[in-house]
Structure formats: C-alpha cells, structure tokens
Structure 1
Amino acid sequence: MTSADFAVAPRQDLSLRTVSVSAPGRLHLGFLDPSGSLGRSFGSLGVVIDGFTTEVELTAAGCDRLAADTPAAEAELDRAAAHLQRLKQRSGRHAPLSLRLRRVLPAHAGFGSGTQLASAIGRAFAEWHGLELGTATLAHWLGRGLRSGIGIAGFDTGGLLLDGGPGPDGLPAPLLSRIAFPPAWRIVVVQDPAHRGLSGGEEKKAIAALPPLPQAAAAEICHQVLMRVLPAAAGAEFAPFAAGINRMQQLLGEHFAPAQGGVFTSPAVARLMQWFADASRSGGAAIGQSSWGPTGFAIVPTEAQAQLLVDAARASERAAPQLELHIVSGRNSGAAVHDRIAQPRTR
C-alpha cells in the first residue's frame, strides 16, 4: 500500500489544532490454543476495562518534538518516537509534529500497554492527516498484534472480545465475537508494581521453551469459552461465566507455570487471589491473571461484592503492602478521539 491508496479528507492545517486520543486498557483472559494443535495458534479472550488509559496528543510543530507528562510516559518516549517515524515512512506524510504522552498504561503488567500506545499514536496520526486507515492496518505497520488481537479490537469497540489468532499473512487476528460486558459486573484489579510480566524477546523465548498445550486441553478451553463464557456473558448469567473463566485460567496457569514461576507471576498476587477465591466461594468470582501478569483480577457480579472483597482484604491485611487494588467496570466502547481547534487568545 502506498500513500496514493489512501482516501484523504482535506483539512486546514492550523497551528491551534490538537488531536487527542484516549485508549482504554484491557485484561487478557487467556489463549484458546497457544500451541496451534490444529494448525492455528493462539486465539484470545479478553475484556476492555475502564479506569486504565493511554492518552496522547498531537499538535503542529516547527520540528518533531516529543514530551511526556509522567515518569511512566517518559519511559515510553523512545518507543513513541519510533512509532511516529514508522508512520511517516509508511504513509509518506512527513510534516513535523509535536507528540505528547499525557498518560500511559502500566508497562508489562497485562493491560496491553504496547498495543494501546501504538494504536493511540497511529489513530492520532491518521486523524491529523485525514487518512482513512483501520486500526488493524496501523497496528500491523507498528508491529503489534503478533499473537493477540484483543487490544486492537478493543481499541475500536470495547466489550468482551474473542479473536481467532493471527493468520499466516501476519495480519492481526480477526475478531470472532464481541459481547457487551454486563454493566452491573465489576472487576477487582490487583497490581504488583514490584513485578513485571514477560514481553518481547523474553516472551517469545518462554513460549518456545514450553511443551505444546495438549490438544485435549485446548479443546476444553474452546468449549468453556464457546458454551459457557460467551453465552453466559450475553445473558448476564454470572455463575456459568465465572466457572468457565476459572477452568480456563486453571488449565492455562498450569501450562505456563514453568515459564512464570507458578500459576501467578507474583507470589503476593497469588496469595491474595487464593484468598479472594476462598472468600467469595458462596457468591462466586472469576479469578485469574491477565496475560503474563503480574496483574490479577477477580470478576464479581456486583459493585457491593467487589467493595466487600477489597475492604475485607485490607482490613485483614491479606493484601501485601505493595499491592494496589482497584475496582473497575468493563468498558463497552473503544478509544475516544478528539480533533479540535483552539480559539485564539485576545488581549
């Protein structure tokens, strides 16, 4: 694809124009078949969440400039600069721009930080130049979606998402199902800043070193997702949803344990999640780890139950001091894009 292939919407290039993008985080609930027992690898289930976002902003500049508003965002400036240059090369649009990272998701923690940063920058760049480019194309340009397509689809739509794994063409995985996450359900997100999940080359090496997930286990995961998790979410039936997620997480946690030091990457998260499971046994909870962690999650049917779990964990000191606990909702909408012209100041 060349720049001549793009549909371009004409825009007036004004120095007071700002394009901003706010992209939501996601939780990766697990792979369907990471070993490709039938020939197609991975396939992912995930949910987009409120409360965790990446926010970027583009404005005109005399020369390319990058800035960050937080220490975490500053750590992502090199990657952001590489994305911006790649977008210019692929699109043929080389006008200088100022890119500001207002906020970023926690890196290597299971929120899809790399994909959301790339997608947010890509969408802001396309909006700035009036280029009609899909998120999957932008992500492919920037090297995202090599295993999971949940973050890419979630950027566009939000919700509870299922993808079919990347194809042989190297393009991001196709979206197979999108279901609105029940609005009453809540997710207790447990972070351990002292640990980092695997990513990049380490992630590839860890996956390659594991034995293949048996086909019978992959088949059971697919059955749990197709006949328990998805229909239960569609009908807001919490008990079968939780049972399906818990079984999926058990099978995958045991498979990946040799590469991540246990079913959970963080021992502190593991202890708290076991306590959550015991404490919520009567009402039920869907408990697991997002991607390689260290972030854990407990999905419960009501706000009151989520608050009860968090309050009890803190009161009983079951939550280690370094752990951060947040109650969030599922998000049924994708990224927010704003293209605005500031009013000139008058004296």
Structure 2
Amino acid sequence: MDKIRIVSPSRLHLTLIDLNAEIGRVDGGVGITLDSPVLKLSAEKADSVEVLGNSGLTEKIRSSALALLPEGEGIRIRVEADYPDHVGFGSGTQAALSAGKAVNELYGLGKSVTEIAIAANRGTTSGIGVAAFERGGFLLDGGHRFGDKKTFSHDVKGFPPGLLLSRYEFPDWPIVVAVPNGQGVHDDKEINVFNTTCPIPLSEVRELSHVLLMQLLPALLEEDSESFGDAVNHIQTVGFKKREVDLQPIAQDTMAFMRENGCYGAGMSSFGPLVYGLVDNSREAAQVRNEVQRMLDESVGGTVLLTKARNKGADII
C-alpha cells in the first residue's frame, strides 16, 4: 500500500456510569457517533515523521504515529480537515487512532483497533471513542476492573479501552450541536476533578444505571425521541456528569435554552463545553440551531451545527 486516506467521526460522550467502583468495576460510558464533523487525513511512507496541515491535533497525531512505527521507518501525514480539541467531540482519540491506523496499514503490522488504542494510550477511561472509530452507532461500554493500577483517574497507561457491552443503530434524528467559545477541563485539571470528586456516592450510580437501563435504552430501541430526551435531561443531574456540568455555566445556560426552544432533551458531551440537543424533524432542528446561534452570538460566541448519528466507523480508503 502506497497511500492511505482515513475519515474518522466525532462523537458525543453522554456520561460515565460508575465512578464509585464498590462493585469492582469503574468507568463505563454511553456515547453516540456523529456523522459530522469529521477528521480527514492522508498518509504515505516517508524517511522521517512529518505532520502537515494547520491543525491543533498535530502533536497527538505525531505521538501516535511514533508509538506504532517500526524502528527506522517514517510517515508523512497530511491533515485535510479536523475539528476542535478539548471541547467534547473526542478529537484526541480519533486523531491518535487515525494516525495509528495509517501506520498499521502502510506497514502491514496487522494490529487490531484495540491494540492501536493501547499503543497510543487512548480509551483508558472510556471505550466510546475507540468503538466509535471502529463501529459507529450508539455505544455502551462496561468500563474496567477496578484496582491493579486502574483508579478513578484516567492518568494510567497500558489499559485497554472499556469493554464494549452493546452497539445499536441510532435513529435518524437531527442533532443540534452547540460549541460555545471555551474549552473543557483537560490534562492536570481533569485529573484533579477525578481525584477530588470520586468516589461518587453509590446511590447516584444506581440512579443513573436505572435511567440508562430502563429509560434511555428502551427509548432508543422503540425510537421514542421524547422519552430518550427525558433520559438525557436526567443524566445531567446525577453522578459524575453532574460534576462535569457544574464546571461549565455556559453549557448549563445553553442546555436550558435548547429545552425552552423545542429540544426534547439537551446534554453536555464529556467535560464540555459542547452541548447537544435532540429534536425529531429537520425543520424544528433548523429553527433551534438559528435560535441557539443567536443566543451564543449575544453572549460568549461560538458555533452551532446540525448533524445526525453515524452508524458506521471510520472510512479507510
């Protein structure tokens, strides 16, 4: 193979499930793969490691490529399209997996996506981004065994992505995505949030698990957008997600505005500030997008887009 092109998706991370760990597992997550925005890169063999293109993901791409490259080999990667880092799209994992996959295919290493993720140190808290790259759709992962160096914090190395429990096709519902100006919590600040808020009370983990099992998942399978939205709203008020939301006042305001303007449910992805809203037809979605864009323009600024779920993983060309 002389050249490869990879188009990988973005994702919404709805919530982590269990940051209590009393039962012996930790993390777990729920997410939705998005059809847009996408990360596009092309790659070919080279004498050294080059990452071309004006992208904030350059160092993640370079680091992942170096982690997979056979000794003495090189690669030239060109970033053709990307999306913001540290806002809730999961760009870091997609960038790392795309670069690792490029090396894997060009040099015929025969590694699985999970093996690439471990080498690139991705998915050590949530398996959603890795599963989105590989399979797309609506994803539920069961986290990791607690202990043996796996703590509440994501600051660990060598752990596989969270165990994928279920993958479902997501309905053709329009999704309004708002990205207020700002960044989510990351790096040392993120580690500090885990260290100071965990363990989450077991009662909240049980409440969240009840909502996921007996409301969110049935609503998904019955394509009941209103009940699904109600579950999304509930998720924002409990468990580790509540602690994440408390750190982002603009996300709280944006979610409330979305609900007041026609969204069945609105939530924050990961540590935000990205907020998503669910409606069940394109006309209403366009109206919500316009109203939310106006709201952001009058406050902190930002961008709003319309997208849908992507029920497949990355395209490898």
**Structure 2 length-normalised TM:** 0.89
5 Å-filtered alignment, 1:140-289, equals 140-167=118-145, 170-183=159-172, 185-193=173-181, 195-252=182-239, 255-256=242-243, 263=246, 265=248, 267-280=249-262, 285-289=264-268
Q: What SS is found at the alignment partner of 1:326? A: strand
How far did residue 331 of structure 1 move?
0.7
Q: Distance in 1 between matches of 2:43 and 2:290?
A: 41
Retained in 2: the 8 A contact 1:60–1:98?
A: yes
Query: Who is 1:324 aligned against?
Result: 303
Q: Which one-letter code corresponds to 2:128 in the other structure?
A: I
CA offset digits 1:57-80 (Å, max 9, x no partner): 21132x21423323xx1x332332
Q: Which one-letter code corresponds to 2:27 in the other structure?
A: F
How far did residue 323 of structure 1 move?
2.0
Retained in 1: the 8 A contact 2:28–2:142?
A: yes
Q: Distance in 2 between matches of 1:81 and 1:315?
A: 38
Query: Who is 2:53 aligned against?
Result: 69
Q: Distance in 2 between matches of 1:42 and 1:209?
A: 16
Q: Which one-letter code corresponds to 2:95 in the other structure?
A: L
Query: Who is 1:86 aligned against?
Result: 67
Q: What SS is found at the alignment partner of 1:102? A: strand
Q: Distance in 2 between matches of 1:221 and 1:64?
A: 48
Query: Against the structure 1 CA distance between its residues 317 and 160, is the aligned structure 2 distance closer, same or farther, given a 3 Å change threshold?
Result: closer
Query: Who is 1:345 aligned against?
Result: none
Q: Distance in 1 between matches of 2:250 and 2:271?
A: 15
How far did residue 317 of structure 1 move?
7.3
Q: Specify the structure having the higher radius of gyration (Cα).
A: 1
5 Å-filtered alignment, 1:106-117, equals 106-117=84-95
Q: What SS is found at the alignment partner of 1:98? A: strand
Query: Against the structure 1 CA distance between its residues 316 and 99, is the aligned structure 2 distance closer, same or farther, given a 3 Å change threshold?
Result: closer
Retained in 1: the 8 A contact 2:208–2:235?
A: yes
**Structure 1 length-normalised TM:** 0.82
Cα RMSD of the aligned pairs, angstroms, is: 2.1
Q: Which one-letter code corresponds to 1:271 in the other structure?
A: D
How far did residue 136 of structure 1 move?
1.1
How far did residue 254 of structure 1 move?
7.0
User: Structure 2 unaligned runs (5+)?
Assistant: 149-158
Retained in 2: the 8 A contact 1:217–1:251?
A: yes
Query: Who is 1:25 aligned against?
Result: 10
Q: Which one-letter code corresponds to 1:189 in the other structure?
A: V
How far did residue 263 of structure 1 move?
2.8
Q: What SS is found at the alignment partner of 1:250? A: coil
Q: Which one-letter code corresponds to 2:179 in the other structure?
A: Q
Query: Who is 1:336 aligned against?
Result: 315
User: Structure 1 unaligned runs (5+)?
Assistant: 1-10, 12-16, 339-347
Any runs of at least 4 consecutive aligned residues in structure 1 with deviations exceeding 6 A, and if so which? none
Q: What SS is found at the alignment partner of 2:162? A: coil
5 Å-filtered alignment, 1:2-13, equals none
Identity of aligned residues (%): 27
